[in-house]
Structure 1
């Protein structure tokens, strides 16, 4: 199955790219610059493409991102600390982000005669991000089937949509993903902050998977406090 992967440069999408390269026919990586403050993640996506020997398209969506105001990822709003399962993390939602990116990726796939678009949405995203939930991915694929009817037949591949981030770490390790060469932190500093939702989730995933986390965190111990707070301990 000729498959393109939407790759941010994060742990999830880079692990997915390595898995697709091993199990299917990876044809290219597609990344998006939507004005995110952690734009450095795109450098990690580029390195992934180079490592896997496929083309890498970076699509400029900065104009669209600027119009999607109110998110801590694109505006001058502080990225909150804590676990994703906290209400405060809703400030990291970029409205319709995945729907916009997927629509573009499906066009790229159709233009290049690819069979599928793969994205690394997973179960841990469901609480905060509506465009990561199974109801969305199923409806989106049906919409794209109608949009491309008679021109191309492109499927949406979401192997992690009902799985955890720990499952992604396990799958990534199985396919020799270089986790140290991925970027998750929403704050975009010199090293992972260790405090934002995506850093906490990343650190927790390695712990649950029983796999050593090679990431350098500015605050390597905060995650345990965040987990305890989430669980009411």
Structure 2
């Protein structure tokens, strides 16, 4: 009997790669996607489509009510999405306060409820500079809490904690994954903007892997 695992699945590149990696490794997967009022909620449709194609029991949870408490982030308010590289100081406006602690807490509760002992999520080293809740010290501390918060211990699994998006993409390409099935842009328009930190990092990963991004961009052909 396969081991059950919850995957926090946004519909972006990182969680898409983790989902397929865990699926390849034989876990019985329960993908969990959150609508927290993000401007790029288009990613939810991408997540649903992938899970349907894999025949996975996908859950989309509406927690948009918390948006009224998280208006300091440009992802959840009327503030403009900044442009530039993730390591630029203006990218701090995309930090949603306490987001990963909130999402992990819900995912851990779901895991306990269905008898899963693992929760996968896509923290990686490319996010360490700007997002405190993707840094190793946060992940390790949350893992300690997850082991004692319930009668049933849950492990938080972060396969790419020490990898960047370049390495994640490389791993996914090795698995033959189709990244046209993912959405990364922080703007949820028809095409990816190509200018926000998320797009810039994605395009950089494709360029350094020597291939073109299959998504269409407002800025013209993918780099």
- Could you say which TM-score interval applies, normalised by the shorter chain? over 0.9
Q: 2:78 is matched with which residue?
A: 76
1:34–1:66 contact (8 Å) kept in structure 2:
no
Q: Distance in 2 between matches of 1:216 and 1:60?
A: 28
Q: 1:65 is matched with which residue?
A: 67
1:160-175 aligned at under 5 Å gives the runs: 160-175=160-175
Q: 1:198 is matched with which residue?
A: 198
2:31–2:56 contact (8 Å) kept in structure 1:
yes
CA RMSD, 1 decimal: 1.4
Secondary structure of the equivalent of 2:177?
coil
Q: Distance in 2 between matches of 1:220 and 1:206?
A: 15
Secondary structure of the equivalent of 1:41?
helix
1:81 is displaced (CA, Å) by: 0.8
Q: 2:100 is matched with which residue?
A: 98
1:21–1:52 contact (8 Å) kept in structure 2:
no
The gaps in structure 2 that reach 5 residues or longer are none
1:28–1:49 contact (8 Å) kept in structure 2:
no
Q: TM-score, normalised by structure 1?
A: 0.91
Between the two proteins, the alignment pairs up a number of residues equal to 221
Q: Distance in 1 between matches of 2:99 and 2:31?
A: 17
2:213–2:222 contact (8 Å) kept in structure 1:
no
Q: 1:2 is matched with which residue?
A: 4
1:201 is displaced (CA, Å) by: 0.3
Q: TM-score, normalised by structure 2?
A: 0.95
Q: Does 1:54 align with 2:56?
A: yes
